[in-house]
Structure formats: C-alpha cells, structure tokens
Structure 1
Amino acid sequence: MTSSRTHVEPLSGGRPVYSQTFPCEPSTAELGRALVRDVLGVWHLDGLADRAALIITELIANASRHTPCPEIRLTVGRPSATRLRVGVVDREPSRLPSLSQATYEDESGRGLLLVDAVADWWGYDLHGSDRRPWGKEVWAELRTEGGK
C-alpha cells in the first residue's frame, strides 16, 4: 500500500495540520484511526482519540462506498486553539453528504448519524472554483476544551 505523507505544519493562520493520502477503500479505516491517534498523541489530545477515530472511520467508509475515487486524503488539523478537525478529501464534488434515516432493518446508512451524534460540528467544503469544483472535504470538529 502506498501513501504520501505531509508533516505537521502551520497553515497560513499559524494552525497545525497533518494530511496523508491513502487508497479509497474500506481497509484504509485502520490506517486512518492510527493516523488520528498518532497526531492527537503528539498534540496531547489523547482524550479525543476515541471520538475522532470513530469519525474518521465513518468518513472513510462513506468515501469508499459512495465515490469512485482511487485515493482519498485524510486530514487532522487545529482550526483554532479550541477545535480539532478531521476530514476526508475526495475528488467527487457531485456526491455530497446528507443525513439519512435508516430503518431498523437497514444494515447501513447510519454513518453520518453517528458523526452527527459524536461531533460538535460537521459539514463539507467544495474544493476548486464555484463553476468547476474538483473535489470536496467532508469534515467533523471536536472541541478541545470543555467538550461535549
């Protein structure tokens, strides 16, 4: 399995972010959980690791199930001193996430409901221009202080 790694670096606003590219397949979830736990350990945010790992698992599952992309980029960042953001970037801007109402008998369809229940905020951002987006990032945020 190949991946490209980017080191933890400040963004233009001075906040650190870590990202890595992986194949867009369900087995990437294990690597995603390890990535999240490693980065949170470096940032001394181990108390958020279980929630963040669950979120990244669901976001990876959605990308691998609902997009034909060969690769996805996982991101772990600190948009502010009090927020942690995990996300998955894919190159399928036409397939936007939405909450569904799975029935009792359904075996899938609850991923974003879990993300919604665990995260403090979640959403997506299109990448590229308004007229020609090349992809999207589905993300979720957790408070790093006084969390849920």
Structure 2
Amino acid sequence: MPQPITRARPTGHPGYSETLPRDPESAATARRLVRLALAAWYLDDLIDDGVLIVSELVANAVRHARRQSIRVVVERVAPRTVRVAVADFSRVVPNPCTPTDDEEAGRGLFLVTALAANWGTAERRWGKVVWAELGVRA
C-alpha cells in the first residue's frame, strides 16, 4: 500500500496527501489520513468532524468524478486552521441541496456546511479541488 506523502508547508507543519482509487473503499483510507494528520498536530478535538467531512468529500468524488483516482490532502493552512481537500478530474462543481426527510442521499454537502468553518471549490484546468476548513475552537 502506498504511504502518504508529507511536505513542509508555510505554517511549518507538514501537509499530508495521498492518491487513492476512485472507489468507495477509499473513504476509509482518507479517514485514516485525516486522523493521522490531526493527531500529529495534537488537534484531536477536530478528528470527528474531519473524518466525517473527508468521508463526504470522497463520496462525492467517487460518485461524480471521472478517471480512476482522486487525491486527498490535509494541510494546516494557519496555526488554528486545517484544510481537508479532495481533488478529482471532473469540472462539475458540487451544488449543495437540502434533502427532504424521506430522501436517503443528498446530505453530504449539507453536513460539510454544518461542520466546516468554511468550504468551497477551486476549479482547475484538469478538474477541481473541493475543500473544507476546520478551525480550532478557542
């Protein structure tokens, strides 16, 4: 199994990233990567929200992207802010919706919006990066 890549960031903290198959089982690996990064930064209070957010971002990429891989990135963009991102090869921008009580799907971005301090999409020539930021609570 490939190991996550770590690189130093301007905050002085390493960033973590891993390329994964565009497969539902990749959500488990993405959750492990988020847990690893947050534990390394002693941000254990963000783990529950971080793993739920990355699960939803991976699920969207698996469902809507093209090609066979996605990339998960976890980086500390500021001393009190962590960004979790999933890159894929689709240019279709996610559109959050409010599902009705009887719908079984469509809650992913609703959950991301509720848990993240901020989230968005960065369009790229080759696809997009959907990201969410978690802030350390005072």
Instruction: Identify whether the pair has TM-score above 0.5, normalized to the shorter chain.
Output: yes
Q: Where does 1:1-148 land on structure 2 (aligned, <5 Å)?
A: 3=2, 5-7=4-6, 9-11=7-9, 14=12, 16-93=14-91, 95-127=92-124, 133-146=125-138
Which has the larger displacement, 17-26 or 99-108?
99-108
Shift of 1:13: 6.3
Q: Secondary structure at the match of 2:16?
A: strand
Shift of 1:135: 1.6
Shift of 1:106: 1.2
Cα RMSD for the two superposed structures: 1.6
**Compared with structure 1, are the counterparts of its residues 24 and 3 closer, same or farther at alpha carbon in structure 2 (3 Å cutoff)?**
farther
Q: Structure 1 CA distance, aligned partners of 2:111 and 2:2?
A: 27
Maintained 8 Å contact 2:66/2:88: no
Q: Where does residue 130 of structure 1 map in the other structure? A: none
| Residues paired across the two proteins, number | 138
Q: Structure 2 CA distance, aligned partners of 1:42 and 1:15?
A: 9
Q: Which amino acid aligns with 1:86?
A: V
Shift of 1:87: 0.7
Structure 1: gaps spanning 5 or more residues? 128-132
Deviations 1:29-73 (A, max 9, x none): 111111110111111111100000000000000000111231000
Q: Which amino acid aligns with 2:4?
A: R
Between the aligned residues of both structures, percent identity stands at 41
- For normalisation by structure 1, the TM-score amounts to 0.86
